[in-house]
């Protein structure tokens, strides 16, 4: 059976921590889709279209990675589209506590055979979050290497830095 994995998140914006998870997962699973969660309550720096475009550009060289978006219940999207792996990244015990609860709830809702799989962050990316990247960049701090180059340029433009 083909492994069809979905890596979910807000990705506002995608960071080097996210990209590292994607690059590693692309070698493990047959197909990987980056699924942007549409959350109208969350105020984002980049529009959904901008995030989708930025991610598509960065993952293009990988070959088996695509980008999509969804709203509503994750389990409905997963079951309706035949994904058999949900991928999430873990940075620390805070992530673990939150993710365990979500994974156990989702396990009840997913079709038979769908598994949530966790990849541990590479240690040098453990402190990177989209929120911290936006905060530091907005104040003119250097985040070189912590977000992909093409995304860094768009962040600097958004903050006039």
Residue nearest to ligand ADP (CB): 17
Determine which one of 2, 42, 94, 108 is catalytic.
Answer: 42
Structure-token pair, residue 84: 């058999």
Q: How far is CA 106 from the centre of its chain?
A: 18
**Structure-derived torsion over alpha carbons of residues 33, 46, 60, 91, reported in degrees to the nearest 10:** -60
**Considering only residues 121, 134, 143, 148, which one is a binding residue for ligand ADP as defined by CB under 6 A?**
121
Report how far residue 149's alpha carbon sits from residue 154's, in angstroms, rounded to the nearest whole number.
9
Q: Which is nearer to ligand ADP, 11 or 110 (CB)?
A: 11
Told to check if 18 binds ligand ADP by CB under 6 A, we report yes
Residue 86: which of 53, 116, 51, 64 has the closest Cα?
116
Q: Please count the other Cβ atoms lying within 10 Å of the Cβ belonging to residue 75.
A: 17
Among the listed residues 16, 51, 88, 130, the single catalytic one is 130
Q: What are phi and psi of 88, to 5 degrees?
A: -135, 155
Residue of 4, 24, 69, 91 marked active site: 91
β pairing state of 115-120 and 31-37: unpaired
By rule CB under 6 A, what string of x and - marks binding of each residue 122-151 to ligand ADP? ---x--xxx---------------------
Q: Is residue 46 a contact residue for ligand ADP (CB under 6 A)?
A: no
Which residues are tagged catalytic? 18, 42, 91, 130
Q: Which residues bind ligand ADP (CB under 6 A)?
A: 9-11, 15, 17-18, 21, 88-89, 91, 95, 121, 125, 128-130
């Amino acid at each position: 059976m083909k492994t069809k994995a979905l890596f979910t998140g807000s990705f506002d914006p995608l960071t080097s921590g996210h990209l590292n998870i994607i690059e590693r997962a692309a070698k493990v699973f047959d197909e990987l889709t980056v699924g942007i969660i549409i959350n109208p309550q969350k105020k984002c720096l980049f529009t959904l279209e901008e995030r989708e475009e930025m991610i598509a550009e960065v993952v293009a060289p990988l070959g088996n990675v695509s980008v999509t978006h969804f709203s509503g219940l994750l389990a409905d999207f997963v079951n309706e589209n035949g994904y058999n792996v949900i991928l999430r990244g873990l940075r620390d015990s805070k992530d673990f506590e939150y993710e365990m609860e979500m994974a156990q709830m989702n396990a009840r809702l997913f079709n038979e055979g769908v598994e949530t799989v966790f990849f541990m962050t590479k240690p040098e990316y453990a402190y990177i979050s989209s929120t911290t990247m936006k905060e530091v960049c907005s104040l003119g701090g250097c985040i070189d290497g912590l977000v992909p180059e093409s995304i860094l340029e768009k962040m600097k433009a958004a903050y006039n830095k």
